[in-house]
Structure formats: C-alpha cells, structure tokens
Structure 1
Amino acid sequence: MATRLRPASKKCTVIGGSGFLGQHMVEHLVGKGYAVNVFDIRKGFDHDKVHFFLGDLCRKEDLLPALEGATVAFHCASPAPSSNNRDLFYKVNYLGTKVVIEACREAGVQKLVLTSSASVVFEGTDIKHGLEDLPYAKNPIDYYTETKILQEKEVLSANDPEGKFLTVAIRPHGIFGPRDPQLVPILVQAAKSGKMKFIIGDGKNLVDFTYVENVVHGHILAAEQLQRDSPLCGKAFHITNDEPIPFWEFMSRILTGLGYEAPRYHIPYWLAYYLALLFSLVLMLLRPFIAINPTFTPMRVALAGTFHYYSCERAKKHLGYKPLVGLDEAIEKTLRSYPHLHRTA
C-alpha cells in the first residue's frame, strides 16, 4: 500500500516530549498525521514514528537538530512544579526558553506554542471565572509560578509577524490523567501516610482540574489556528475542562476510587494557613542545620482552600475549543490507569 506523504507543514517538534503532557501530545500529533521530533533531556518512551533528540535545553547547539525542518514547536519542558529548586526553575523555565526562542528563529520555525500555567495570575486569593487579562501575580505562590511568568512574558513578546515568527501561550490548570507522575501518586502517598484526613476550609471552594487530553487538544488547536494577523498572536489562552468542581470533592473521588478514605475533618482556612506559615518559618531557621522539604506549605494551603477557576471563553471564541472528555469520564479513565496504586485489601 502506498504511503501518503506528509506535507512539510505537518512537521513539528515537542520540546519536553518525554514528560507527562509531552508524551500525550506526541501520541495525538502522530495520530493526526504530524511528523514528530521530540527533544528532551531523557528518552521517556519508545515510538517507531517519532525521532528523539537528547540534550540540554539551554544549549542552542543541542536544540537546533531537533528543530530542523519543523514549522511548529511545542514547548512543554519544565521541572516538576513540586520541586523546590529555584535555580533549576530559573535556568529551565526562563533562560532555557530564551534559548528555545533563539533556536526556533534560527531554524526557521514559524510557530511556537508554549505550555504556560493559569497560576501566573494566582496570588493565593480567590479567582472566579478568571480571564486572561488579569494582571500577572505580583507575589507568585512559588518559584515555579515566578519563573512561568517570566517565561510567558518572554514567549509572547517574541511574537513577530513581520519576521514570520508567531507565538501563543496555553494556560492549563490542574492537569491530570493516565501516567501523571504528580497529582495522583502524591495524593495516594499522602493518604498512606495519614496526611489526608483534613479538609481545609468549608470544602466548597471550586477549582479547575483539566484532563490531559483536553490540554493537548487546546495546544494543537492553537498551533493550527495561529496565523499572521489572527487574534492568537502573542496572546495567552486558558484551557480547562470548563467544569469547576469543589477541590475536596475531586480529591475525595480520586481517593475513594482507589480504595482510600476521603478526608472528613474540617480545619479553618485561616488556621491552616498560619500553621503552615509558622512551620515554614521554623524550617527556615533550621535550614543551616537540617534540610527538610515540607509538604505542608502556605502555597499548598492556598491551592487547597481558595477558589481558582478560569474562563475558557477566549479559547472557545478564537480556537474553537471545546473539551473532548468530560470530567466524570476523565476521572474514571484516570482511576482505571492506576491499578497498581489501588489499596490492597
């Protein structure tokens, strides 16, 4: 049978393609007929239709071979948000992104789609139906967010229609799904160690959680709709499941679905926040003598106890975005993908 040739415009590079989001992105792009290169610091999986390039994001000479012939680059490389390494975040998210932009221009890549984060506008206080024109957080909740702000600004300001280089940023929130190494495994570990007994606040705060397939869909739509003089150029777009859910209901559904007890005792938000703040100050004083990476932090209390959900109206209007997988189905698919984390009888 004759093989259909892919047009040159369907060649793309996924930077960070070995990561959780990156792997799903690669699979969907291949399924849509794209020729895909992956650039990452490690090879996270095997795929006979994908070309892998290994190297350091901050070295342009490492990046250039992976970008050769590509018209679109998806940049979703980042250290895990749970890391507390400020220097690593700054190096990868900011300095590395400056190198990505330079390499894309040099390689003749026409479009750069950045995986940003809705947290770039979050300061630990309630956000309801947040729009993309909210100001960047003046007091970011963590080092990850601090450097994602720098990164997004860098990418969006690099948009240059005259120079035939177009950029757009996708801001997902609360990504979850099969093969996620963060949210579900960390939640299960916390439950096993007895740390998931308390609900912070009244438990009614709504939050966006976004299924990974919907996040990928938003990125691909952005790449395909990004054209000179389009409203996408140099802009950010929220991509969520568009179904905000009480934070503690989502956590409880994951835990009970895997055989663990749901949290049931309430602790006032203000008390949890100040206890976490006090704990952080004590650890800061002890740091010269002992290194502890805390899980109970003011940032995590804020994420668990406030409203933070975002409007997808801009994405619906300009990208034609609509979630492919509803929240109930997404939770079921996710739970089925973690049989090894199910509590044994």
Structure 2
Amino acid sequence: MATRLRPSSKRCAVIGGSGFLGRHLVERLVDKGYTVTVFDIRQSYTIPGVTFHQGDLCDKQALLKALQDVLLVFHCASPAPGSDDRALFHRVNIDGTRTVIEACQEAGVQRLVLTSSASVVFEGTDIKNGKEDLPYAKKPIDYYTETKIQQEKLVLNACSKERGFLTVAIRPHGIFGPRDPQLVPILVDTARRGKMKFIIGDGSNLVDFTFVENVVHGHILAAECLKAESPLCGQAYHITNDEPVRFWDFMSQVLVGLGYDAPRYHLPYWLVYGIAVLLWFLTLLLRPLVAIKPTFTPMRVALAGTHHYYSCARAKRDMGYQPVVSLKEAITRTVESYPHLRRDVLKGAKS
C-alpha cells in the first residue's frame, strides 16, 4: 500500500489568487520556494508550478479539492470596493468566508491568513496613528466595509489552539502598485475628464497608501510567525508603508508622473460633503426611475478629506515587520508600470 506523504509546511493555497493582491502574493510565495495552489472564480495568468482551481467560493466541495494536503491558506478574495452590489459583497465576504473556514477545518488546514482592511474601524472621521484596539465601526462608510467587519470577526473567532486551527487578519490600507486595476486607472480617467482640478479641504490630511509588495510581505510574515505560542493567534494587524502622506500630495505625484496637471483649487470639506450627502439621498429617491452614479459620494469625500493613517507598532513587535519598499520608490515604480496611461501616449492614440 502506498504511503501518503505528509503535507509540507511550504505548500499553501491562495484563495482569490487571480486578483491584484493575490497575484503579487502568489509570485512572491513562488520566489520563496512555496508550492502554491490558486483557487479563484477565474484564471487570469499562468505561472510554472502553480496549480489553478476554478470554482465558486461558496462551493465547499470545490474548495476541499483545492485544499488537499494544504496546511496554510491565504484568503484574499473580495469584490472591489466601490460597487453597489450588496448581494455580491454578502455572498463573497460573509457566506464565502464561512465556507472557507469550514473547508479549511475539514481539510486539516492549520493556518488561515485573511486579507481584511483598515477601514473596518473607519467611520468617516479623523483617525491618526490608529491602533488595532480601536472598536469596529458602528457606522461603516459603505456596505463593503460592513461585510469586511463581519468577515474579520468570523475568521478571528474561528481561531482555536485546541483544534490546531490558527487564524490572523492583515489590515492593509490604500493598496497600490503595478497592475492595480483600481486606483491609478480611475485616477487617470478622472483627470482626463477634467475632474481632478479640486482639492477637498485644505489638503493637509494625512493618509496611508501601501505598496502592494509591502502588503504581500506582511501576509507572508504573519503566516510564518503564526504558531500556537505566538501572540498573532486570533489577532488583527495593520500593514502600511508606515509613511503617512498628504492625500492630495500622493495623488499629485501620480498624476504629474503620468503627465497630468495636479489639482490646485480648494473646496471646503463641509461643502463638498454636504453636496455628496444630498446627491446620495437624491440617488436613493430616484433609483426606481433612473440609475445615477454621482462622482462624489460621502464615502469618497470622507476618504479624500480626512486623516486616516494607522500604526504598525504591533506588527513590528510581534512579527518584525518593516516595509521593504519606500513610498518614494513605490510611487516611481507604479508610475513607470503604466506607460500606456501617460497623457502623451493617450493623446497620441486619440489623434
């Protein structure tokens, strides 16, 4: 009779591995000698040695196949924030995460690392050097965040040293970098439409923007430090670039780097926020008749006009975290990765 090989600690699965963060995580894990299985609704790339399983996050049997002989799982599957598809957020972030936990426990997975979000404690008002002991937001800024709160609670509450199932949550903030389908493309599109001329507020508000490689580094450190005797068990950790920057300075550096003008006209925060709230109410009232998607939502105004940056002290203490790429280098590398979005290139293609 053939002897079944003992699962290797270097064998892992990345749920959501076809996404922006997931792909960067998979690439780094392969570089570090891990054997990687990807589970996602779609396959967007191929890497030698990486096994792909396509399936629905709520299909436990499909997950169990992907998790065979896997001891470590990274769960970074989530719809992108900004959508108004509440049913999708609930299905993926809550129902899907319950299924992931059940499948992990049945498959004998020992460690589960969740990609959460620092926004789980953000209510649209200033947070300066926020620590992980801040309470969950009672009034989350959007439904995406509401489901991320419930998701994080599910994962952390599932941690059990007695059952040999350990969990930890990583809370990044403002992820950006090469291949990002959100921040830079949306920023450029907004600038091309002439809607990046205004600064909301006085422009002094500090925010964390975190390079994707630093987020990946934090995930892998957490996985490697997650042991029964470690303080990581059942805890959440902020992972950022640890370099709070003025929100509008960051936006300007990216825009100018791609050949666009930086925003320069100031609008009072309270005025823009008030208009955003009115538009939001108007959208709700008219929803049965017409679909309106206002540019300024209360959530976007709050993100652009308030302080929200977080302390990495706990991650430094418990897992030795330090950013591996500085903010300056990260912005340079990100801008250089989008030559097709440069103003002169797009202008030439249009003419």
Into which bin does the TM-score normalised by the smaller protein fall?
Answer: over 0.9
Structure 1 counterpart of 2:230:
230
Which amino acid in the other structure matches residue 176 of structure 1?
F
Residue by residue over 1:288-325, the C-alpha shift from the partner in whole angstroms, topping out at 9 and shown as x without a partner, is 11112333100000000000000000000001000000
The percentage of counterpart residues that share the same residue type is: 70
Residue by residue over 1:314-342, the C-alpha shift from the partner in whole angstroms, topping out at 9 and shown as x without a partner, is 00000100000000000000000000000
CA displacement at 1:82 relative to structure 2: 1.7
d(CA) in 2 for partners of 1:6 and 1:186? Answer: 46
The answer to whether residue 219 in structure 2 is matched with residue 212 in structure 1 is no
SS state at 2:112 partner: strand
Could you say what the CA RMSD is over the residues aligned between the two structures, in angstroms? 1.2
Unaligned runs of at least 5 residues, structure 1: none
Structure 2 counterpart of 1:85:
85
Structure 2 counterpart of 1:317:
317
d(CA) in 2 for partners of 1:62 and 1:191? Answer: 43
CA displacement at 1:7 relative to structure 2: 7.5
Correspondence 1:151-162 to 2 at 5 A: 151-162=151-162
Determine if contact 2:12/2:71 at 8 Å carries over to the other structure: yes
Residue by residue over 1:85-111, the C-alpha shift from the partner in whole angstroms, topping out at 9 and shown as x without a partner, is 111101100110000000000111100
Determine if contact 2:123/2:138 at 8 Å carries over to the other structure: yes
Structure 1 counterpart of 2:56:
56
CA displacement at 1:6 relative to structure 2: 11
Distance 1:335 1:317, change over 3 A: same
CA displacement at 1:62 relative to structure 2: 1.2
Residue by residue over 1:154-207, the C-alpha shift from the partner in whole angstroms, topping out at 9 and shown as x without a partner, is 000000010000000000000000000000000000001111111000000000
SS state at 1:300 partner: helix
SS state at 1:150 partner: helix
d(CA) in 1 for partners of 2:154 and 2:196? Answer: 38
Structure 2 counterpart of 1:274:
274
Residue by residue over 1:197-219, the C-alpha shift from the partner in whole angstroms, topping out at 9 and shown as x without a partner, is 11000000000000000000000
Structure 2 counterpart of 1:263:
263
The answer to whether residue 195 in structure 2 is matched with residue 195 in structure 1 is yes
Structure 1 counterpart of 2:306:
306
Q: Which runs of 4+ in 1 moved over 4 A?
A: none
Distance 1:7 1:97, change over 3 A: closer
d(CA) in 2 for partners of 1:198 and 1:179? Answer: 27
d(CA) in 1 for partners of 2:305 and 2:290? Answer: 29
Correspondence 1:6-45 to 2 at 5 A: 8-45=8-45
CA displacement at 1:229 relative to structure 2: 2.5
Which amino acid in the other structure matches residue 92 of structure 2?
V
Correspondence 1:143-182 to 2 at 5 A: 143-182=143-182
d(CA) in 2 for partners of 1:6 and 1:80? Answer: 37
SS state at 1:140 partner: coil
SS state at 1:163 partner: coil
Which amino acid in the other structure matches residue 255 of structure 1?
L
Structure 1 counterpart of 2:98:
98
Structure 2 counterpart of 1:125:
125
d(CA) in 2 for partners of 1:198 and 1:337? Answer: 26
Distance 1:37 1:326, change over 3 A: same
Determine if contact 2:169/2:236 at 8 Å carries over to the other structure: yes
Matched length: 341
Unaligned runs of at least 5 residues, structure 2: none
Determine if contact 1:118/1:173 at 8 Å carries over to the other structure: yes
Determine if contact 2:7/2:71 at 8 Å carries over to the other structure: no
Structure 2 counterpart of 1:287:
287
d(CA) in 2 for partners of 1:240 and 1:332? Answer: 17
